Every structure is written in structure tokens, then in C-alpha cells.
């Protein structure tokens, strides 16, 4: 995708662009794209088996408003022009629960700065986890960035239909939701 004419044209012609980082097996993005045909969705999934499952769901529903990438999110996000994305969906990312592994979490300050750069004014980030520590860390980092404020936006329907969402609900785990809006 790096510096291609196709990429630049894509962002010029689409009016509402949303990204799901870590689309897993594609439950959310396929259903969301089917309901929201007026939005263009980009799904990023690093794990190849999950990427293939997501691709199958998108193809079975014949969705032409979705583009998928089998890559690390940082690689794709680095090539997106500033002020082009309306919303980021980040649901049940790998929590890396051990203290020594927390530096591997996606929502670190350097990645939050990238999200901020490519979000449109008043763009949103929707985040859900069942790990309280990750929720608190993310909230602190987003507010420390000073480019975001807490938002009272309602989450899209069916954000908990993923494997991890269902698993958390079936185990009666607490689910922590965080919604922020770009302020500058």
C-alpha cells in the first residue's frame, strides 16, 4: 500500500472511512459493513488464519465496502494520509497481561499518536477489553496525549459478537468500554 496512487485515490473518493484493528475472525466487521453500506471499512488482522476467516465472511456476503489487510496495524497505519479516518474500532485486543509483556500492547503512546494524526477532527476511537488493567492504561494514555477527550458516544450494535466478546459474556467477565473523540 506504500505511497500508491490507488491508496491516495481511495481516500479521496470515500467519505466515511472506519478501521477495525484486529478484526479477528471477522464477526464484527462483516456484520457492520453489511448494515453500513455507506461507510468504507478497512480491516487489519495480523494472524493469517483469522485473516482468511474474515476474508471468507466478507466474500460470502459480497461486501464491496471492505478492504482487508493481513499485516501489523502499525505498517498499514503509517501509510494513511493525515485527517482521513472517521473511526477506529479496537475490540478485545491482545491484553498481554504479564507486566513484562505490556510493552507489546497495541495501544501505546506512539500508536495513539499515529491514530490521532490520521483521525479527522472529532474522529472517534472505540475500545473494548475484558482486562481492567488494559482499560485503565488505555484511558490514562489517551487522556495524557491531550488530543482526545472522553466521549459518551454509543458503541455500534453487535460489538460483542466476536469470539472474545461472546466468551467474556458467557464467563460473566466485566467488559470495559472506552470511547474518545479527537479534540484538535
Query: Can you give the pTM of this predicted structure?
Result: 0.89
State the Cα–Cα distance between residues 165 and 159, nearest whole angstrom.
8
What cell numbers appear for 132 in the block?
Answer: 481492567
Here the CATH number for the domain that contains residue 52 is 3.40.50.150
143 within domain boundaries: no
**pLDDT tens figures, 15-68:** 899 999 999 899 999 999 999 999 999 999 999 999 999 999 999 999 999 999
The answer to whether residue 164 is domain-embedded is yes
pLDDT tens digits for range 139-180: 999 999 999 999 987 777 676 666 666 676 677 778 899 999
In a domain, 76, yes or no: yes
Q: Whole-angstrom Cα distance, residue 54 to residue 125?
A: 21
> Quick one: CA torsion of 73, 76, 82, 85, rounded to 10 degrees?
-60
Domain total in the chain: 1
Q: How confident is the model at residue 2 (pLDDT cuts 50, 70, 90)?
A: very low
Active site residue 94: yes
Q: Is residue 146 part of a domain?
A: no
In a domain, 31, yes or no: yes
**From 94, 130, 133, 157, active-site residue:** 94
Amino acid at each position: 500500500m506504500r505511497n500508491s496512487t490507488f491508496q491516495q485515490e481511495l481516500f479521496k473518493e470515500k467519505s466515511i472511512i472506519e478501521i477495525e484493528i484486529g478484526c479477528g475472525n471477522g464477526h464484527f466487521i462483516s456484520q457492520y459493513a453489511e448494515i453500513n453500506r455507506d461507510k468504507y471499512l478497512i480491516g487489519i488482522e495480523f494472524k493469517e488464519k483469522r485473516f482468511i476467516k474474515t476474508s471468507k465472511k466478507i466474500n460470502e456476503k459480497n461486501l464491496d465496502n471492505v478492504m482487508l489487510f493481513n499485516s501489523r496495524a502499525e505498517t498499514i497505519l503509517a501509510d494513511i494520509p493525515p485527517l482521513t479516518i472517521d473511526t477506529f474500532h479496537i475490540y478485545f485486543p491482545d491484553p498481554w497481561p504479564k507486566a513484562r509483556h505490556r510493552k507489546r500492547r497495541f495501544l501505546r503512546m506512539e500508536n495513539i499518536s499515529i491514530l490521532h494524526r490520521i483521525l479527522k477532527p472529532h474522529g472517534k476511537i472505540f475500545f473494548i477489553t475484558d482486562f481492567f488493567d488494559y482499560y485503565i492504561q488505555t484511558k490514562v494514555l489517551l487522556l495524557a496525549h491531550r488530543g482526545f477527550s472522553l466521549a459518551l458516544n454509543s458503541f455500534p450494535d453487535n460489538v460483542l459478537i466476536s469470539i472474545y466478546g461472546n466468551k467474556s459474556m458467557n464467563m460473566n467477565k466485566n467488559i470495559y468500554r472506552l470511547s474518545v473523540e479527537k479534540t484538535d
